[in-house]
């Protein structure tokens, strides 16, 4: 009841407003824990017909969900994933999720908890802990990371968040004895605080058919934040999708990344450098093979500019094709 009441824009003694009833219904739907929401009113009695009772009827969605996936990737070989989430712990819209991913070269586990109202204010907050074991060309990395993120919606289109992240990375199986000094391949702890602004006008985040998306972010790594390296990592990304009446669509994106060291730091750790090549950046190339290399081993860069365009078209039923 407490969760429902705080989302209502009408209280005892207020004038009845159809607009406020619709906005209250919309706010309740956006919580993501109700399958249906109906907001109506009815007379309280014959003594005063002007007095109305606000009636809210909700049908709760199933809070527990899970997914299992198996597949094959040309870079990482056979892979599997498992995810389970609870979206309404204690009836307070608190979330808890557990994710796991396993492949030949990457193993990752993550626990994520969400609180919709930090200190009683509309500040959605996420806390997560992750452990990652990754085999890269020339070295193996074992990384543990803890982060806290506070979100803030500015208006209907713009939102932002502030995030602090602390990570510890331990490296082993380094093939080049000179790499630790030349490429910043060493055991390291990093701490940073970052700010991100985003504008999302897509019709669907996963299966976008129209709309635009823009984000700009900056992360500061500093000794005061428990970081052994000091640098600034900035990113700007923009994308757009346009659909046509024959079922085809065109999508384009641009991504820019910059790294700048300061203080006594002269080289950015390899784990925070930019890499390109592979299905999530430039398809048609092997993983991370686009950019600086040393003896055939990707070393990453301190700047990145990636442009993608693709033309999507229907083939048969739910199957489609892409030219990129």
| 223-229-231-236 Cα dihedral, nearest 10 degrees | -110
129-150: average pLDDT: 91
What's the pLDDT score for residue 173?
79
What's the pLDDT score for residue 244?
93
10 Å CB burial of residue 307 (0-12, 13-18, 19+) is exposed
Reported pTM = 0.84
130-150: average pLDDT: 91
What's the pLDDT score for residue 204?
84
What's the pLDDT score for residue 138?
77
Averaged confidence pLDDT in the chain:
91
What's the pLDDT score for residue 118?
86
Identify the residue with better confidence: 174 or 34.
34
What's the pLDDT score for residue 184?
58
What's the pLDDT score for residue 181?
56
86-112: average pLDDT: 94
């Amino acid at each position: 009841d407490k969760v429902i009441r705080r989302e209502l824009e009408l209280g005892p003694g207020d004038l009845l407003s159809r607009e406020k009833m619709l906005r209250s219904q919309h706010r309740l739907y956006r919580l993501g824990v109700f399958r249906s929401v109906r907001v109506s009113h009815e007379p309280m009695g014959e003594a005063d017909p002007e007095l109305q009772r606000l009636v809210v009827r909700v049908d709760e969605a199933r809070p527990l969900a899970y997914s299992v996936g198996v597949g094959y990737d040309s870079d990482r070989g056979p892979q599997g994933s498992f995810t389970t989430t609870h979206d309404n712990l204690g009836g307070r819209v608190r979330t808890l999720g557990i994710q796991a991913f396993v492949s030949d070269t990457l193993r990752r586990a993550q626990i994520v908890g969400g609180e919709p109202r930090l200190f009683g204010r509309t500040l959605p907050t996420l806390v997560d802990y992750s452990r990652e074991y990754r085999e890269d060309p020339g070295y193996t990395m074992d990384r543990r990371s803890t982060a806290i993120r506070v979100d803030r919606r500015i208006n209907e289109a713009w939102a932002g968040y502030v995030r602090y992240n602390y990570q510890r990375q331990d490296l082993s199986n380094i093939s080049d004895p000179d790499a630790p000094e030349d490429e910043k391949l060493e055991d390291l702890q990093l701490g940073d605080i970052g700010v991100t602004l985003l504008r999302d006008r897509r019709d669907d985040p996963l299966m976008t058919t129209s709309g635009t998306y823009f984000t700009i972010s900056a992360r500061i790594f500093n000794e005061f934040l428990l970081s052994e390296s000091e640098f600034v990592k900035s990113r700007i990304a923009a994308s757009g999708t346009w659909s046509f009446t024959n079922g085809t669509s065109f999508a384009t994106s641009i991504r820019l990344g910059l790294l700048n060291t300061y203080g006594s730091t002269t080289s950015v750790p390899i784990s925070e450098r930019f890499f390109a090549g592979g299905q999530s950046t430039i398809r048609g190339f092997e993983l991370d093979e686009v950019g600086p290399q040393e003896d055939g081993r990707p070393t990453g860069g301190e700047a990145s500019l990636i442009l993608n365009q693709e033309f999507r078209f229907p083939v048969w039923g739910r199957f489609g094709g892409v030219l990129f």
